[in-house]
Structures are given as structure tokens and as C-alpha cells.
Amino acid sequence: MFSIRAVLAAGCMAALCALPQAGAAADTPAATSSPAAAQPSSAAPLPARPRIALVLSGGGARGLAHIGVLKVLQELHVPVDMVVGTSMGGVVGGAYAAGASVADLEKMARETNWARVVADRPPRDELVFRRREEDLLLPSRIEFGISRNGISTPPAAASNAALEMALNRLLPAGMRDRPASQLPLPFRSVASDLVSGELVELVDTPLFLSMRASLAVPGVFSPVRVNNRLVVDGGLVRNLPVDMARAMGADIVIAVNVGTPLAPEKELGSAIGVAQQMLQILTEQNVQRSLKEMRPQDILVAPDLTGVSFLDFENYARAMRAGEQAAQALATRLAPLALPPEQYAAREQLRLAAPALLDVALPLTRLAVESEGDINPRILQAQSGLVEGQSVTQEDVLKAAGKLYGRGDVARVESAVVDAGEQRTVTIKAVEAPWASNRLRVGLELASDFKDSNNFALKLLHVRSNLNSWGGELRSTAQIGNARGYGVQFWQPLGAGNPWYIAPQLQYTSSAMDLFDQGRRSARLAYNGQTAALVLGRQFGTWGDLQFGVTRREVKGKLAIPADPEMPELRALGTTQFVQFRVDTLDSPGFPTRGVLFDATWTRDTTTGSGETAVGQSSITGLKAFSRGNWAGHVYGEWARSQRGEAPLNLGGFLRLSGTEFQSVSGRSIALARLVMARRIGSLPSTLGGAVRAGFSLEMGGGFDQSERWKASKFTQASSAFISVDTRFGPVYMASGASKGGESTFYLFLGPVW
């Protein structure tokens, strides 16, 4: 018989033999008597997966190719462990590191209004009404700030409003103010110190500020202050920051270079072209240094972006497709880096942001509006449209902050929303643009029919805003040329944020007026006048204005052609009461593609002196703009009537019965209708202007005496063909017009033509 001790000993030995040997794999079979099994395992532990960094370069609109590269990496299941980006690479990379999906990035590229993002100011139909008035007075965009330190220009060609709104919408919920080092994926972006020229590595900077600073392209977007340093686009010092990825611990770098290549010699014929080339040389030099730092295991993706320029955001689909094709061409090198589908899906689940919570409206229990500068916070609060007690969504807060850019004197708006249960606290801070409260606009106007009607003017518009706590403003105008004059208006709201205002003004003019007899020029009258006016008005949001006013004027005139020394000087004194209602939602004063322009005016005139003057006048004008695809245009109607004298608005000239002489059609009543259509055929560089269009007009109108019946036979039919160019000095038109039964005429215009 076996003893119990012997049985236990045998069992223990059997159990020990059944255990895997130390260092062997877990699935190693039980040891056998073979010599090989008796030797210790020589297999080394499997190496850890290499850490992969994605480095995305700057390149403006070309940077949208990064989205196509990310799409291919996702399809191949290639993991990304860290992201480093510059400029547009910082925007795409920052959003991806924060948890945005590739689909989110594609949606951003498709739905962002890029024309607004790179515009030199907020869209015109988002400006306050006073700023829109300035566009009608002088449509030039040549503007300067005046201070004790001299004359300065706006710090960038583009405003911040649309850009910052787009970035806010791109970032996943809760990620806007999170430090860049605390995202689901480690992220770094690069900026350049505008003062010292040093590289600024944005590590613990809030994500939104990090992306915004890296994208501050000189001459396109305004600089940003980060930790008391004024910084701009990082592409000037490190457009492809491979070294930063290596410092973060990357074993393999996937670098995507979308930088703009150097321009050929034939494109360097202008000062702007040379300046752009100099900046590009600096960028290309640091890119070449970064490329030399790449190792054999690193992968360079260089999309073919021929035909996509730095600001060519309309070609977003082409850019994304180029990135996708370039990454697919490297699939054989990328595939070994891939993870099994289930492992990749698990990583993506950790990276992707949680679905955004429904943007629920909550009661606004506290609203704090702050101002850095001379703008009264109470005015800003009224213009934001937010009121304590109302229910607001976070989108409402973004829109309210965006409204403040429409003032035209705000450089930056910051907003923050804090929720506590069912209560919401909102803080908005507006930073006044240092150049905008005392600014001067310069413009040229030219009108010629290459015959007897040739007019030229150099115009100045000066605005001094925020003169007092209620937002008083002084506007001065001056011009020299065929007509000379100057004027000054003091605009004073009747309280901080109050829509009612008063506006006293003085004006002097000196000009000449041609007189016509049956459509033929018969004489020219030279005159000068002084006017004093007092207006009580009310603004309706940003879209409309109602005025009640009284004007006192003195006019002196003398026949200039034919000269008659014995003819006495004409002199008239008059007082006019008027009511005027205006609506202006046009997106452009040069060639509008959306919006409405409407004016209804009634005047009553009591005049003493020589000459006959109308006692009562009424006029209505309306314009509705539209667009579809590359086509845009408008329909326009005008009617005016006076009880005595000639019509208050004469007709004649381009788009006002093209082919007839300027102001050659008149009567006690006038009527005009026209249709304008034009197709976009190109565009100027953003530093010079905008769209180039070719189009035509169809017009019909006429002038009638008071007792004359309106008949179709009395209306003149006219048409024109034109090329229009949107320049920074204003719209330029080159046209040919003809009226039925009349002569054809060529026109050249610089300035407003409506």
C-alpha cells in the first residue's frame, strides 16, 4: 500500500511538470523528455508598436489636402499617436487630435463660407447701418488709422469674425479651452514671434488660441497675443515641424507637405509678387531643412496640388482629393503600420469626441459684457441682442458675439458660457481695434462716356467714433475734381444703445450742371451752395433707418456756357422738410449678389429767390439682388415725381438708359426699370480686389410732364454689355450701351454706378 505522504508527493511532482516553464509562452505544451524542451527559451519579448506622429504643414487652402490623407489613414487602419501642425495643418490636426472625425473635417471644408473667412472685414450685410452708409458714400476699401504715432493700416487683410466662428464650430464640445497637451491625442502647433522672429511652440495654450495663433498668416489674418508675445503663422519659422514630432517621442513620422512652390520668373513682375516670393523663399528654406531630418522609416506625403493656390478655398474638393490620391499611392509603405480592425476601432473610440449634447436653450441668468478700449459696454450689450432672463443656446451666444464685429471698430470678441444646472452665465469681451476709432478712407471716382461727359473726383472720408459714452460719432467728407465740396456730420445716439439719434450737419458744394433741351445739351450752369441740416432718426437693427429732417440751404448759380457777363447771378434760399426711409441689406455696393436696397423719400420745399423750385417731391427706388451658381444680377425700379419744376432725379447714362447722355432725360415725373445679369469669369488676387464678371443690362424708362399721360411709346428702351471688376478702390466698369433709336456709347466707370 502506498502511504498518503507518497501519494501527495507524486501528485505535487505531476502538477509541477504540468506548469509551463519560466520564460516560455503561455500556450507552450507541457514539458517532455526531449532535449529541446529541457532548454530555456531563447525568444525575446515582442517589441512595442512604434509611435507614429502625423506632421501637417501649412499651405492655406492647400492644407485641406490633409483631410484626404487622414481619410486614407483611417481606411488603412494606420494609427496616429500624436499630431504636430502648422497654420492650416494646425487647424486640421488640432481638430483631429481633439476628437473630430474625418467626416466632421470634410463637412467643415464643404460648408464653411471661405469667402467670408478670408474677407478683409465682416460681410457687408452683417455691418451696422452706419458702416453700410459709408460704403455708399465711398465704396473704396483703402483705409488708414490715425493716431499720435502717425498713420497706420489695419493689421491684417482679413477680419477675425468669420474665422473664429468657423473654428468654434469645428472643435468638439468642451475642447475649445482645453490645453493642447491634454487632448485625446498629444498635439503641438507652431507660431512665429512677430517681434523677435523666434519659434513659439504652443504646448499648454488653449486649443482654440493655439489653432488661431498658428493660422495668423501675415497680411491675411491679424496677429494673436499669446503669453504677452505677439505671434503670427508658424510657417515662417517651421512649416513642416518634423523635429518637434521627434522631440515628442515619435519613432515614425508621416509628414504631409502642402506648401506653395516658388513662383516662376514670369509671375514676379509686380511688387506684390516679389513680396510673396520672398516670404515663400523663407518658408521653403525651413521646409528643406525639415526634410533633411527625416529618417528612412519616415514617410513623406506630397500631394499634387497644381492649380490650387494659397487662398483658393473654392477648390476644397480638389485639394482633399489630391491628398487622398497621394496617400493611396503610398499604401504599400503605410500598410505595415496598420492595426487589426478591432484594435484600430478601439483606439478610434477613445479618440473620437463624445457626440455633442443637444444645444438646449437655458435661461440667461447673468450677462457680463466687457470692453477693452473706449467702447461703452452698455452699447455692446444692446448691439449683441442678449438680454438677461431670455433663454439662449450656445449658438445664440456665438451669433451675438459675431454681431459686435459688425461695428467695424472691434478687433477681437471673446465669449464664454458657464452652465450651472438650469442656469446659464455668459461673458462677452470685445477688444477695440486701435486703428479703427479714428480712421481715414481714400477713394477715386471716374466716369466717362468718351465724349462730353467726363467726371473725376478724389474723395476722403474721415470718421472719429466713440466720442462719448453714448457712442457719438463725427463723420467728415471732402472731395476735389469736377465737383468740389466738404461736409461734416455729428451723429449722436440718444442714449447708450438707443436706436434713436440726432444728426446735425453742414455741407458746402461747388459744381456744374448741364441743361438739356429735347435731349440735347444747351447750356451749363455753374453753382455753389451751403447747407445746414438737422435730422432726427431711428435705426432698425442693422438693416434700416428712418429719418425726419429739416434743411436750410443757399444756392448761387451763373450761366457758364454760353457765358453771358450781363446775366445776373442766380440766388435762392430754401427750407426743406423731409422724411426718408431706407433699407440696405446688399452684400456689396459694387456688384451685389444678394440683399435689398430700398429708398422712399418725401420732401416739401419752400424756396424764395429766382427760379422755379418744386414744392413737393416724392421718390421711390428699389433694388433686389440675386445669384445662382456663377451668375448674379439684380432687378431695379425707380419712380420720382415733383409738383413743379423738373424731376428730382434725372435719367441718362450707363444703366440709367445706357446710350443716352448723362442726365439728358428729365421731366416732372420719371420712371426706370432694368434687369442686370452677369457671369463670374475670374477673380483678382485678394490683395487687389475680387470677382471679375461679364454681363448685360436691359433697361426701359422715360421722363414725362405733369399733364402728360404715360404711354409705352414714350418709354425709351436701352441695353448695355459690360465687364465689371471688383477692386480695392471700388468697382470698375467698362461698358458699351445703346438706346433704341439713339446712339451707342462707350463707358468707363470707377466707383458706384447705381
Predicted pLDDT of residue 698: 96
Same domain, 674 and 534: yes
Determine, yes or no, domain membership for 690.
yes
- The residue-averaged pLDDT of 641-653 equals 70
Write the pLDDT tens digit of every residue in 110-124: 888 787 777 767 788
Same domain, 282 and 378: no
475 CA to centre of own chain: 25
Determine, yes or no, domain membership for 732.
yes
User: Among residues 287, 321, 353, which one ends one of the domains?
Assistant: 353
Amino acid identity, residue 332? T
Mean pLDDT of all residues in the chain? 83
Write the pLDDT tens digit of every residue in 202-211: 888 888 888 8
Predicted pLDDT of residue 741: 74
CATH number, domain of 667, equals 2.40.160.50
User: Among residues 353, 386, 416, which one ends one of the domains?
Assistant: 353
Q: At 25, is the pLDDT very low, low, confident or very high (cuts 50, 70, 90)?
A: very low
Q: Which of 87, 222, 686, 724 is catalytic?
A: 87
Write the pLDDT tens digit of every residue in 191-250: 988 888 888 888 888 888 888 888 888 767 778 888 888 888 888 889 999 999 999 999
Write the pLDDT tens digit of every residue in 703-731: 887 666 777 778 899 999 999 999 888 89
Determine, yes or no, domain membership for 339.
yes
Predicted pLDDT of residue 39: 32
Predicted pLDDT of residue 564: 66
Predicted pLDDT of residue 275: 65
Predicted pLDDT of residue 145: 87
Is the pLDDT assigned to residue 520 strictly greater than 70?
Answer: no
Report which of residues 585 and 11 the model is more confident about.
585
Rounded to whole angstroms, how far apart are CA atoms 156 and 143?
A: 12
Determine, yes or no, domain membership for 134.
no
Determine, yes or no, domain membership for 197.
yes
Predicted pLDDT of residue 155: 55
Overall domain count for the chain = 3
Predicted pLDDT of residue 563: 64
Rounded to whole angstroms, how far apart are CA atoms 423 and 302?
A: 50
Specify whether the CB–CB gap between 234 and 199 falls below 8 A.
yes
Same domain, 511 and 578: yes
Same domain, 408 and 491: no
Same domain, 291 and 322: yes
Structural domain span for residue 207: 52-119+168-353
Same domain, 456 and 395: no
Is the pLDDT assigned to residue 370 strictly greater than 70?
Answer: yes
Q: Which of 104, 135, 233, 545 is catalytic?
A: 233
Pairing of strands 744-750, 570-584: unpaired
User: Among residues 397, 417, 432, which one ends one of the domains?
Assistant: 432
Write the pLDDT tens digit of every residue in 480-511: 988 899 999 999 999 999 999 999 999 999 88
- The residue-averaged pLDDT of 56-60 equals 91
- The residue-averaged pLDDT of 655-670 equals 85
Determine, yes or no, domain membership for 36.
no
Q: What are the C-alpha distances in Å from 339 to residues 8, 50, 246, 595? A: 49, 11, 22, 53
CATH number, domain of 422, equals 3.10.20.310
Is the pLDDT assigned to residue 18 strictly greater than 60?
Answer: no
Is the pLDDT assigned to residue 354 strictly greater than 80?
Answer: no
- The residue-averaged pLDDT of 123-144 equals 90
CATH number, domain of 220, equals 3.40.1090.10
Half-sphere exposure of 399 (CA within 13 A, CB side): 7
Same domain, 536 and 642: yes
Write the pLDDT tens digit of every residue in 75-95: 999 999 999 999 999 999 999
Same domain, 328 and 406: no
Point out the least confidently predicted range of 29-33, 182-186, 442-446, 693-697. Answer: 29-33
Specify whether the CB–CB gap between 741 and 601 falls below 8 A.
no
Strand positions, DSSP E, 287-409: 299-301, 362-372, 391-392
Please compute Rg for the chain using Cα positions.
35
Residue 704's DSSP bridge partners are 669
Report which of residues 356 and 481 the model is more confident about.
481
Determine, yes or no, domain membership for 145.
no
Burial class for 20, CB neighbours closer than 10 Å (0-12, 13-18, 19+)? middle
- The residue-averaged pLDDT of 163-188 equals 82
What are the residue ranges of helices labelled H in 268-406?
A: 271-292, 316-328, 331-334, 341-351, 377-384, 394-405
- 409: annotated active-site residue: no
Write the pLDDT tens digit of every residue in 281-315: 878 888 889 999 999 999 999 999 998 888 788 88
- 87: annotated active-site residue: yes
Rounded to whole angstroms, how far apart are CA atoms 268 and 618?
A: 55
Same domain, 634 and 704: yes
- The residue-averaged pLDDT of 510-520 equals 69
What are the residue ranges of helices labelled H in 56-128?
A: 65-76, 88-97, 102-111, 114-117
Is the pLDDT assigned to residue 415 strictly greater than 50?
Answer: yes
Same domain, 250 and 325: yes
Predicted pLDDT of residue 388: 93
Torsion angles phi and psi, residue 333, rounded to 5: -85, -30
Point out the least confidently predicted range of 261-265, 316-320, 561-565. Answer: 561-565
Q: At 697, is the pLDDT very low, low, confident or very high (cuts 50, 70, 90)?
A: very high
Write the pLDDT tens digit of every residue in 594-635: 999 999 999 988 876 545 555 788 999 999 999 998 999 999
Which residues lie closer than 8 Å to 33 by C-beta, 6 or more apart? none
Determine, yes or no, domain membership for 152.
no
Specify whether the CB–CB gap between 51 and 80 falls below 8 A.
no
Write the pLDDT tens digit of every residue in 441-472: 999 988 888 877 788 899 999 999 999 999 99
Reading the block at residue 474, the C-alpha cell is 463725427
Specify whether the CB–CB gap between 192 and 232 falls below 8 A.
yes
Is the pLDDT assigned to residue 24 strictly greater than 60?
Answer: no
Predicted pLDDT of residue 644: 62
Predicted pLDDT of residue 235: 85
| Strand, coil or helix: 185 | coil
Report which of residues 468 and 660 the model is more confident about.
468
Predicted pLDDT of residue 160: 61
Same domain, 348 and 377: no
Specify whether the CB–CB gap between 70 and 63 falls below 8 A.
no
- The residue-averaged pLDDT of 381-403 equals 89
Which residues lie closer than 8 Å to 279 by C-beta, 6 or more apart? 218, 236
Same domain, 442 and 426: no
